[in-house]
A = this chain, B = another copy of it.
Amino acid sequence: MLVSDYILNFLVKKKVKKVFLITGGAITFVVDAFSRNKKISYIDCGHEQGAAMMADAYSRLGPNFCATMVTSGPGATNLLTGIACSWFDSIPGIHICGQVNTHELSGAVKSTKNVRQVGFQETDIVSMAKPITKFAYRIKSEKEIPYILEKAYHISTSGRPGPVLIDVPMNFQRKIINLKKLKKFIPPKRNLKIGIDRKINHVYDLLKKSKRPIFILGGGIEISKSKNKLNKLFANYKIPYVTTWSGKDCCFYGQKNYVGTIGVYGSRAANFAVQNSDFILNIGSRLDTRITGGTPSTFGRKAKIVSVDIDKNELNKKRGLKNFLKLNYDVGDFLDKFNLKTKYNCNINWLKNCEDWNKNYPNVLENWRKQKKFTNPYYFVEVLSEELNNKDIIIADDGAHLTWAVQAFKIKKGQRFFSAFGNSPMGYALPASIGASIVKNKKRIICIDGDGSLQINLQELHTLVNNKLPIKIFILNNNGYGIIKQFQELYLSKRFEASGKGVSNPNFEKIANAFGINYSVIKNHYKMRNKLKKIINSNKPEFVNVLIKPDQKIIPKLQFGKPIEDLSPLLSRKEYLKNMFIEEISSDSNLIEIN
């Protein structure tokens, strides 16, 4: 069997039906194998960066796994930003790079070791990809290909998942291998869950002793495919819970005891709940700085924090925030066991407190809905979310519009809502929407993008049209880089260098039309809902330019040095204190009256 054919068979076995690729000299032989395999096909992309991001979304939503194929040199380096999305968000997938023939590699003979390049478009992609992959490897003999592919798959999908990269010199691509004679990869047995019962008993005891317990639900729930187990948790435990951004689509808006999303851009309600709790069970969040704020020691500072994470490095971080108890287990394994305990309801007053916060501090304010000039992004996202159905998939890009989307979107049961949260590149949402639509059989996808971000992978508009994907692109257009402008307004005396000044947009209407995509504009709230209904229900791609005030803020947002319950615009100290059960607060400055 030809190596190239073997590679495709391997991908088929791993349930990959579409490979995202651009061809090129060093990958031509592998790509040729598609002509002989009916079970798998490819999407020709506009840029390898787009291919990697499409694959990332394909893996997030797909049955199992994803793959890209690219040529050596620039083909491979173009993948890196997309691979980084998968790395930081723990998404499995394989990137197969063509490479020059082995005899043309630097170092193939000793005398070429330090030469910048021997073969045409030779680049050391393996070294470059190492910091953002679980496994990056150059094939050394065609005979090891079956072993390495299985090993790469195992590494990519087991433990905390992540992307892998295999570099395949051309000369191996056209070799014939005899599978019977080759070494097989035997995946190691899964670690025994040593001590899990004892630890879970401990968690349960802590929970019962606590007065104001809370659950934090993170991205680990989706990554470990534990949404069903989570529903059982909700049935068994009447405890308030909050989510991180990555955990947002674990719950739905209005779900009993759900308080909201936490963090620097969290909701006031959710942040008050976490900061007042005395026991935090953190299921699958790494509690990064966007969650804890810049001073992690102020996060959940009256609570015993218990964290469940498959990655022990995340549990062992010592950055001010202390885990009282660390459970280095798969979230699914944890939930299986934890759900076996006797049902437990926490104090009803505490549940009532959380409910009240939710009522008192809604994410979308009434006066925003009444805004006359421009579209208010919070109200827009609210209406959009109300008009979607419970099968919809929503993908947001980065920066201000991502924040608005997470803050205001009222998620429905069954929906998926994500971005490349950890890497957060401009330009993710469009290719990710393409990957998402493709893995879901050309389903409609809601792409929430920014005017700056869209341009990064603009070329993929053609991929979208070429594949007839009914993706709805909403540009929350504030004419510049909103999140930077807000920072500059606060800390740099409104010197909008390279965020407002020097930045401009192309004519989006003409661009949408040039690619053959329906264009519409939403200038303000007048008939907005009707327009949205029509756009959403069309069976075509749609490009919607949503005009936002150029100085639209993210509200609320944490300022440097504050604990996360004290979001800006700051509440009066009286109101602030009224919301705090705990007496001691981290910084005296929180008590200085500002209103």
Contact = CB atoms under 8 A, between A and B. Distances in A.
A253 interface: no
Interface stretch (A275-283, A406-414, A436-444, A481-489): A481-489
Nearest to A498: B23
Interface stretch (A113-121, A197-205, A337-345, A524-532): A113-121
A34 interface: yes
A97 interface: no
A130 B127 contact: yes
Interface in A476-503: 481, 483-484, 487-488, 492, 495, 497-499, 502-503
Interface in A107-149: 109, 111-121, 123-124, 127-132
Contact of A502 (B44, B116, B484, B503): B44
A42 interface: yes
A34 B73 contact: no
Contacts of A311: 116
Given A116-B88, A314-B115, A458-B458, A25 B506 contact: no
Contacts of A124: 131-132
Contact of A114 (B74, B104, B129, B313): B313
A2 to B, nearest CB: 12
A373 interface: no
A28 B111 contact: no
A498 B69 CA distance: 11
A507 B175 CA distance: 40
Nearest to A134: B116
19 contacts: A23-B481, A24-B481, A28-B492, A34-B498, A47-B456, A73-B423, A74-B81, A78-B425, A111-B317, A115-B317, A116-B313, A120-B289, A123-B131, A128-B132, A455-B459, A458-B459, A459-B459, A466-B504, A507-B514
Highest count of chain B CB atoms <10 Å: which of A127, A311, A503, A511: A511
Contacts of A114: 313
Given A127-B130, A492-B32, A455 B46 contact: yes
A370 interface: no
A6 interface: no
B492 A318 contact: no
A23 B313 CA distance: 32
B104 A117 contact: no
Contacts of A514: 506-507, 510-511, 513-514
B74 A31 contact: no
Contacts of A42: 497-498, 502
Interface in A305-325: 311, 313-314, 316-319
Given A21-B498, A80-B128, 8 more contacts: A46-B455, A46-B456, A111-B318, A112-B318, A115-B313, A458-B458, A461-B506, A507-B516
A426 interface: yes
Contacts of A128: 80, 128-129, 131-132
A49 B459 CA distance: 14
Contacts of A43: 502
Contacts of A35: 495, 497
A94 B484 CA distance: 24
Interface in A56-83: 73-74, 77-78, 80-81
Interface in A346-378: none
Nearest to A110: B318
Contacts of A77: 80-81, 84, 132
A15 interface: no
B123 A84 contact: yes
Rank and list the top 6 A-B pairs by shortest CB-CB distance, nearest first. Answer: A74-B425, A510-B514, A23-B498, A514-B514, A111-B318, A124-B131
A328 to B, nearest CB: 13
A87 interface: yes
Nearest to A509: B514
A511 B319 CA distance: 50
B316 A111 contact: yes
